[in-house]
Amino acid sequence: MQATVRSSVAFKGIGLHSGRPVRMVVHPAGANFGIWFRRVDVAEADGLIAARYDRVPESQLCTRLRNEAGVEVSTIEHLMAALVGCGVHNAMVEIDGPEVPILDGSAAPFVRAILARGVQAQREAISAIEILKPVTVEAGAARATLRPAKRLTMRFDIDFDDSAIGRQSREIELCNGHFVRELCDSRTFCRQADVEMMQANGLALGGVPGENAVVVDGDAVVSPGGLRHADEPVRHKMLDALGDLALAGAPIIGAYEGSRAGHMLTNRLLRKLFATPGAWRMVDCTPEQAASLPGVDLHPEDLTAVA
């Protein structure tokens, strides 16, 4: 069955790049509604923006959505990962600014609040996107692939010059609460030199090392408190990829493989998937398929893992 949040969930924080305070509320929505954003601070234009892959303009540092009126909302990937990871298919997200609050730099605060409020099952069956043949996109040394599989799985590899990160790999099945327990608390990360460059260009103004981002400099993690996991960077990359895949508009049944991939490469992968005849089909989930989707079979102890 489809699901929505049981009741409205509110968040307050600052935007990572704008440094601007923002208030956001995730409201329940009816079956087959999908995920939509509404910019409540916009009066002169249409403030409704669909959370879909074909509403994403070119961007590198985060995932942005833009509607036909040019109204945007950015840094949506952590919230989208939290929604799909908690099994929420339908929601209206009202926000009074151009950027989703960064909170602690992970999806954990969103997950914690959603699970504490509860998820409401809906009568309608779930349709999913079944991958039928491999589709790959590349950009330099970066590569992203979707291939057939019985359930959503993910493998990710990263390789950074900074030895505090270095080469990391992880593979996971995104079912039975694995996202909540293993990925959702991993924070966004960057190099100290990149932080200085971004702030000099008017970006990352809301970034606070140790509070909403992991910052590394060579072989040192300069953020107070260090890492939450030894491989926190690759876990966060997987979190981001799940949020970006959620823009497909329906759950995916298949295997995602990313190597040095970022937001735009995953978006290009979705665009290529839907443009490739015979690469996918929409299916009504069997009970077995529905039971393997992210967010199904969550338990109280899964919330404890991120409390």
Rounded Cα gap, residues 100 and 64, in angstroms: 10
Token pair 């299916």: residue: 283
Q: Within 13 Å of residue 263, how many CA atoms lie on the same side as its CB?
A: 22
CA distance 151 to 179: 14
CA dihedral over 14, 304, 243, 10, signed as positive or negative: negative
| CA dist., res. 62 & res. 162, Å (int) | 21
263 classed as catalytic:
yes
Secondary structure (DSSP) of 121-182: E-SSPPEEEEE-S-EEEEETTEEEEEE--SS-EEEEEEE-SSTTT-EEEEEEE--TTHIIII
Give buried/exposed letters for 20-29 (b at 16+ CB in 10 A, else e).
eebebbbbbb
Map tokens 């493989």 to a residue.
257
Among the listed residues 89, 178, 263, 299, the single catalytic one is 263
Enumerate the active-site residues: 263
